[in-house]
Structure 1
Amino acid sequence: MTAPTTPRRHDLQGLRALASLLVATSHIWFGNVSGGVDVFFAIGGFLLASSLIGEIERSGRVGIIAALWRQAKRLFPMAGIVLVVAGSIALIASGPLLLNRVAHDISAAATYRMNERLASTATDYLGAGLAKSEFQHFWAMSVQGQWTALCIVLIGLLAVALGDGAARRARSIAGALLGVAAVASFAYANQQIAIDPVPAYYDTLARSWELALGGFAALVLTRIPLAPLARAIMAVVGIALVLTAGMLPQHFAQPGAVTLWPVTGALLVLLAGHGADSVPVGRLLSWRPLVWLGGISYGLYLWHWPVLKGLVALDPSQGDGVGLLPGALVLALSIALAWGSTRLIALASRPRPRESRSVPRLVPLLPAVATAAAVAIAIAPGIQERAIAAQAAAAPQPESPAQLQEWVAQSVSKPTAPMRGAVSGEAGQSSEWLVDECSTVDELELDACRYPAPPATHGREAWLVGDSQAVALAPGVRAALAGHADVQLLGREMCPFSSAPVVARELGDEAAACEAHIALVLELAAERRPDLVVITYGAWWVGDGYRHLGVDVGRRLAEGTLDLMRQLDALGVRSVWLDSAPPFAEMQECLDAVATDDDLTTCIAPLGDEELRRHERMVETIAAGGGDLVDTLGWYCDVERLACPLIAGGVYTWADPHHISAPGAVQRVALLEDALLPRVRATQEGATGLPESTVPGSASGG
């Protein structure tokens, strides 16, 4: 039995063109989810199922290796070109400080794992605007690539299992299986969204229903006869759904029920134009410019994001909103690059003299990129760690705690620009965070996140516990204790070192993991008896967005920390609490002002009454309960004037709105020495009294 030949559908190319334009324009101008990717998924599932079942109906089988090779020839060259060009520029532009991150991004994109990488790093697709990876958009290619490979293998095995009846029965059985898969995946997606919508956004299992539904429509719904009027109405409704998907409320979690809007629209258009004379919408989608654009839509999707990132790198002011003309230039350049890349691939695939068939000479490009990225990942940690250390060491060092406080006060009075080469954002974070990945440390990672302090410290060690603030402060703590104690990082992201109920209420599903981590710290403390446990965490849960927690957050957090300090004391382990830097919420405004040489008053953040009250309550509660602490607010802010400068002594104190930078941590070594060394020495000498600097407001406490 031979399957009938399906005529080439120009309307499908037009639909692809619309999907690519929706994605590109939403990224450039609107910063929203447009539904364009969902349209691509529906089209991809529709065409893949049609192709595989058509092959079975023609030959009784699916050549699995041949089918995978066809997909590689179609996808690898364009992706490889984009990764080679954009990856090279990203590596050069980011420099050694971000070499490790960029190399991992390129590797994940080249090996169809970008969705898994973004899910594992909890990257909110819309949450950070344009401050994201140059290759974040490869997540969709990864999802579709994983589904495509799985579908080819499973349908190929289905054909083998059906044997002689494959050509007759494969369509109905595969259609039923795809229908079941779509329902199961949709249920799973909604379950995962309820648990944590950020990783669910990238989850292949949660996205599979879009592709499976496309396949189900191709194999089952296309068999339903439709009158011309019904087709025309379906197409109109479908294109309306596709074009309006980006107007839906952006707080609706994807890929849940809201994602049915663009997927249904795409399928209505596909079904309306299947096997029939073109309906009016189909003729519109078959317009020659749209068909041409549809032919390069894959390239447009891959090129537009790195081009947009390049615009923002050249003109940081565009990060707050791309103008009409710059955005149009981004779109035009992306289209030009997509066309040029498509032409290059076509030329490279032409038969050479004496060749009987096309040789896809650019197909090995993507594996070559993956191999190069793997080499970069292997050498990146050492390069990056040295670069971060050099950046931190270049920060001007105050001669005394008083001088740093003077710098802070001067920066409040007259905001100054950063010194040349000062970095912010991810590049400003510590190597303990970026390279060693010690923001969350479990029992298996203790050795990797333990930092010996030569010369020999005879087994003496200080621990740094708390949330991600602990790893941000690590460069300063390590420098302060060099030669006196090894430093063991033992923190966990989003886990304040406090047993207070307010922590469990705010952390939600993460509360149980946080409690387990605190229990691990106490268990290890009983076993290893460190000389000092340094406690620091963020949890500035006051003000807008946190009113539901009440006005006494500071006292309750402190009581929970005091409870854990007492448990450590019962084990014979000394501990000290250092508050973290308050958040610098509007940091991007300052960075934009620095980049454009504008007024730097945005580089001063007010210390709000609620923030000050939270800090004072914590200091008062821990001190009144007999806990050891150092009042650190003056390390970061001019407390008298209730102002916190982003830039002090020429360096960015904060790397991002919530964490201090590695140079900022090293800049506070003198204060950390005054705060920590007396406590470590007192423990080593067997002293029981608390150092004088415990008193809030003392010289070392600021």
Structure 2
Amino acid sequence: MFTLSPPRPSAVTPADSPPGAAMGSRKSGFYRHDLDGLRGLAIALVAVFHVWFGRVSGGVDVFLVLSGFFFGGSLLRTALDPDSSLSPWPEIRRLVRRLLPALVVVLAAGAVLTVLIQPQTRWETFADQSLASLAYYQNWELSATASNYLRAGEAVSPLQHIWSMSVQGQFYISFLILIFAFAYLLRRPLGRRLRPTFVALLAALTIASLSFATVLHVQDQTAAYYNSFARAWELLLGVLVGAAVPYIRWPMWLRTVAATVGLAAIVSCGALIDGVREFPGPWALVPVGATVLMILAAANRQSRPSTSDRLPLPNRLLSAAPLMTLGAMAYSLYLWHWPLLIFWLAYTDGSRAGLVDGAVILAISGVLAYLTMRFVEEPLRFRRGGAAQVTPQPTIPWRTRLRRPTIALGTTVGLLGVALTATSFTWREHVTVQRSHGKELVMLSSTGYPGARALTENARVPKLPMRPTVLEAKNDLPESTNDGCISDFDNVGVINCTYGDLSATRTIALAGGSHAEHWITALDALAKMHHFKIVTYLKMGCPLTTEQEPLVMGDNRPYPNCHEWNERVMAKLISDRPSFVFTTSTRPWNIKPGDVMPATYIGIWQTLSDNNIPILAMRDTPWLVRDGEPFFPTDCLAKGGDAESCGIKRSEVLSDRNQTLDFLAQFPQMRILDLSDAVCRPDVCRAVEGNVLIYHDSHHISATYMRTLIPELGRQLGAATRWW
């Protein structure tokens, strides 16, 4: 995380500095050392909470406000000046010099560590997110991933933290366009009213952004978390504070109280508020408001605080040298600490760092951050005679001594960025080529790749390479997914697609979430053989349930759209009156090993039975979980594991008894289907059976393995329907 701060002025305060000069400007001669310290405190909180507590500290929100204060406040003073240039290019060049070099270095190091530590199945994600980070749309990339049910539960990315930098980068460019366009069009018509009019516009945008964030937070908190406009109010509020600072007048005692409250709120925020679930909604006002108090506490037009003794005590504490140094390193430290943590956890297969290894991670992050700041950031930011050099220096500082290597350094960083981009595109193309071979999967020999028949029929298994491969698996999906026949998280509409024998009069309604959907591959084949049709009623992550406040399975996000969709789909099922409704009847326990029949399914079965619609109740396939986190067999196999070591004990994912059996007397029209023995052995659910990879992620059956389930599903389905 970072904030753009104004260039450091000369150590000498000009005697003619106006009392109302903005804090931190070159003209004022007053530099806000306490805000450097506040950045240091914020990055310390971010890193500590990430490494040891797995929580959001509120430090990112502090950075967002400070970014708006420094960057926006500076532009308010320059772009809206009647005598200023209307060219944004100097600011853009400064942004590029400030932001990209350190980012490129960290991304390049991350690419090397990805190849050394992560399985090949994770390289594509890193390539995608590297490109997203370089182009500053990482927040949208992560938002798309979070809303993609097929990618839910993926390992945490080592570049996930760059979402906030993308939000800031988008804000900087948008603000530049807005303010320069505003000045260009209205400088002459508005004259002296130009600045207050623009500030009023910013205030309206701030209110609109906060309102949008509040509404979206309720509707889809994950989308709100990464949404640029939902975060814009935090930066815009910083800009507004920068505009207000020159006019602030309040006594020292009140400033001290405000600073004390602000500092206490910032320090305690991470412990008291679950920011992952509550930000950027109204609770984000706590760290944001606290940062505003810290800024305003040291602003007083009547007393020009050019020395620390005129600051409130909390601000003086923040001006301590260690915190200021940490603040100067904040950008680089933010870049380094998260990927180092994630790579360490990937290397050790851990879920959280301990006291010792966490301290080592922070120490290494600090060293790398300092070296990056000292030898990459500052040589490219501070150039002799550049904007950051306010007065000529009597002696040659180290920055000037590094003038000659600066060109070479800039060229090296540029080439590194080009190489990283080219490598990312090249790997993505390689994966695309590998997956193009997946078309062969439908033609695999049943003798060479018996799959489930190795369990159900004791079929002989020759020694052949596993298919799909770990790279092919991601796209080994049911046809309905590729056809767009399943509603996504946001869509509450019922999508009907028809498979099997389209002219048949007998119909099976395939209804529920993706765990009902992945049976379409086998059902479609059986429907064509036995002359019935399949009509889909599907929604991602949403089984048929009467639950009033459903949650997304896996991360327990509120899922109100699931409830609305269930109401619609049940009405349509009753209206359509299919011959049978095929749906899942169990779910994994969240609190203990095994699976369970949720009580919220009973109301669905009762409604269908009351309307004389028989039910085909399929026991859900196992969800693979280790240490409370989704487990991906493809990752394990790519790391060198085998079918056994990359599997999971059956007792951990399946109960001894299918609890649906207990409801047969209550629902005599219900028929129970259970293919657990075609997926798992008596003691273990392996990753591979009959040379076929069972899962394409952590809990969905691959389409290739599903085709090997056709004989066993056909046997059970024929007995249940009596159609053959």
Counterpart selection for 2:200 from 176, 189, 192: 176
8 Å Cα contact 1:42-1:263 kept in structure 2: yes
* Letter of the structure 2 residue corresponding to residue 152 of structure 1: L
Alignment of 1:209-358 (within 5 A): 209-250=233-274, 253-274=278-299, 276=305, 277-278=307-308, 279=311, 280-316=313-349, 318-319=350-351, 321-342=352-373, 343-347=375-379
Specify the code of the residue in structure 1 equivalent to 2:35. L
3-state SS of the aligned residue for 1:77? Answer: helix
Deviation of residue 311 (structure 1)?
A: 0.4
Paired residues for 1:30-49 under 5 Å: 30-49=53-72
Q: Report the Cα offset of residue 670 of structure 1.
A: 4.3
Is residue 150 of structure 2 the alignment partner of residue 140 of structure 1?
A: no
State the shift of 1:67 in Å: 2.3
CA deviation vs aligned residue, 1:319-370 (integer Å, no higher than 9, x gap): 1x31111111111222222223331344467689999999954468657755
State the distance in 1 between where 2:99 and 2:118 align.
Answer: 27
* 1:63 is the counterpart of 2:123: no
Contact 2:72-2:242 at 8 Å conserved across structures: yes
- One-letter code aligned to 1:309: I
Q: CA deviation at 1:298?
A: 0.9
Mapped to 1, the partners of 2:266 and 2:181 lie a distance apart of: 35
* 2:658 aligned residue (590, 609, 612): 612
CA offsets per residue over residues 465-518 of structure 1, 9 Å max, x none? 64222555577779999999999998431243x5x6558977532344566779
Query: Match for residue 673 of structure 1?
Result: 711
Which residue of structure 2 lines up, in the alignment, with residue 557 of structure 1? 604
Q: Is the 8 A contact 1:466 1:495 kept in 2?
A: yes
TM alignment of 1:502-517, pairs within 5 A: 508-513=560-565
Percent identity reads 24
Q: Compared with structure 1, are the counterparts of its residues 433 and 480 closer, same or farther at alpha carbon in structure 2 (3 Å cutoff)?
A: closer
1:468 aligns with 2:517: no
Deviations 1:385-424 (A, max 9, x none): 658999x99998455544679x9xxxxxxxxxxx999999
The letter for the 1-side match of 2:620 is S
Q: Which amino acid aligns with 2:186?
A: L
Aligned in 2, Cα 1:551/1:339: closer, same or farther, shift over 3 Å?
closer
Q: Does 1:25 align with 2:48?
A: yes
Structure 2 CA distance for partners of 1:433 and 1:104, relative to 1, 3 Å: farther
Distance in 2, Cα, partners of 1:377 & 1:592: 20
For normalisation by structure 1, the TM-score amounts to: 0.72
Change (3 A) 1:433 1:304: farther
Secondary structure class of the residue paired with 2:159:
coil
2:134 aligned with 1:82, yes or no?
Answer: no
When structure 1 is superposed on structure 2, of 242-251 and 225-234 the one drifting more is 225-234
Residue number in structure 2 paired with 1:580? 620
Give the structure 1 partner of residue 388 of structure 2: none
TM-score, normalised with respect to structure 2: 0.70
Q: In the TM superposition, what is the alpha-carbon distance from 1:218 to its structure 2 partner?
A: 0.8
The 1-side partners of 2:406 and 2:599 are apart by 79
Residue 563 (structure 1) shift = 9.1
Contact kept? 2:68, 2:239, Cα under 8 Å: yes
Whether the aligned pair in 1 keeps the contact of 2:478 and 2:518 (CA below 8 Å) is yes
TM alignment of 1:302-451, pairs within 5 A:
302-316=335-349, 318-319=350-351, 321-342=352-373, 343-347=375-379, 360-361=410-411, 362=413, 369=420, 373-374=424-425, 376-384=427-435, 386=437, 397=451, 399-402=453-456, 431-432=476-477, 441=486
Cα distance between partner residues in 1 of 2:454 and 2:406: 78
* Higher alpha-carbon deviation: 374-383 or 332-341: 374-383
Deviations 1:162-191 (A, max 9, x none): 324878444433333322222222222221
Rounded Cα–Cα distance in structure 2 between residues aligned with 1:322 and 1:254: 24
Q: Distance in 2 between matches of 1:222 and 1:358?
A: 42
In structure 2, the residue matched to 1:54 is: 77
Cα displacement string for residues 551-579 of structure 1 (whole angstroms, at most 9, x for unaligned residues): 7544433456779995xx9xxxxx96643
- Tell me the residue number matched to 1:691: 718
Change (3 A) 1:442 1:542: closer
Indicate the SS of the match to 1:220: helix
* Secondary structure of the corresponding residue to residue 332 of structure 1: helix
Of the candidates 9, 12, 18, which is equivalent to residue 35 of structure 2?
12
Contact 2:585 2:601 in 1 (8 A): no
Give the aligned partner of residue 416 of structure 1: none
From the superposition, tell whether residues 477 and 130 of structure 1 become closer, same or farther in structure 2 (CA, over 3 Å): closer
What residue number does 2:387 align with?
none
Q: Deviations over 1:516-550 (max 9, x none)?
A: 77999999x99xx9xx99945476388879xxx99
Cα distance in 1 between the residues matched to 2:189 and 2:84: 8
CA drift of 1:314 comes to 1.2
Amino acid at match of 1:184: A
Shift of 1:245: 1.0
- Is the Cα–Cα contact under 8 Å of residues 115 and 202 in structure 1 kept in the other structure? yes
- Structure 2 partner of 1:152: 176
Other-structure match for 1:114: 138
Identify the range of structure 1 (247-256 vs 377-386) with the bigger mean alpha-carbon deviation. 377-386
Structure 2: gaps of 5 or more residues: 1-16, 22-26, 385-401, 552-558
The equivalent residue for 2:24 is none
CA distances 1:138-157 after superposition (whole Å, capped 9, x unpaired) = 11112111222111111112
Contact 1:175 1:220 in 2 (8 A): no
Q: How many residues align?
A: 636
Q: Distance in 2 between matches of 1:533 and 1:307?
A: 52
Give secondary structure in 1 for the equivalent of 2:37.
Answer: helix
Cα deviations across residues 634-685 of structure 1 (Å, max 9, x unaligned)?
44568xx9x875768699966777x2453xx755654432324x79xxxxxx
State the secondary structure of the residue aligned to 2:477: helix
Unaligned 5+ runs, structure 1: 408-418, 570-574, 680-689
Higher deviation after alignment, 258-267 or 279-288 = 279-288
Deviation at 1:266, TM superposition (A): 1.6
Deviation at residue 18 of structure 1 after TM alignment: 1.5
Q: Shift of residue 587 of structure 1?
A: 5.5
Q: Distance in 2 between matches of 1:482 and 1:338?
A: 62
* Deviations, residues 254-276 of structure 1 (Å, cap 9, x unaligned): 11222122112222222223452
Q: Find the aligned partners of 1:559 and 1:367 in 2 and give their Cα distance.
A: 61
Task: Indicate how the Cα distance of structure 1 residues 66 and 183 shifts in structure 2: closer, same or farther if over 3 A, else same.
Answer: same
C-alpha spacing 1:516/1:172, structure 2 compared with 1 (3 Å): same
Amino acid at match of 1:630: L
Change (3 A) 1:195 1:589: closer
What is the one-letter code of the residue matched to 2:199? G
**Gap change, CA 1:440 and 1:576, over 3 Å in 2:** same
Shift of 1:42: 0.7
Classify 1:59/1:520 alpha carbon distance in 2 versus 1 (closer, same or farther; 3 Å).
farther
| CA spacing shift, 1:88–1:543, aligned 2, 3 Å | closer
Amino acid at match of 2:197: I
Whole-angstrom distance in 1 between the partners of 2:355 and 2:707: 47
Q: Distance in 2 between matches of 1:137 and 1:33?
A: 11
Indicate the residue corresponding to 2:674 in structure 1. Answer: 631
| Larger proportion of helix | 1
Provide closer, same or farther for how the CA distance between residues 472 and 209 of structure 1 changes in structure 2, counting only shifts above 3 A.
Answer: same
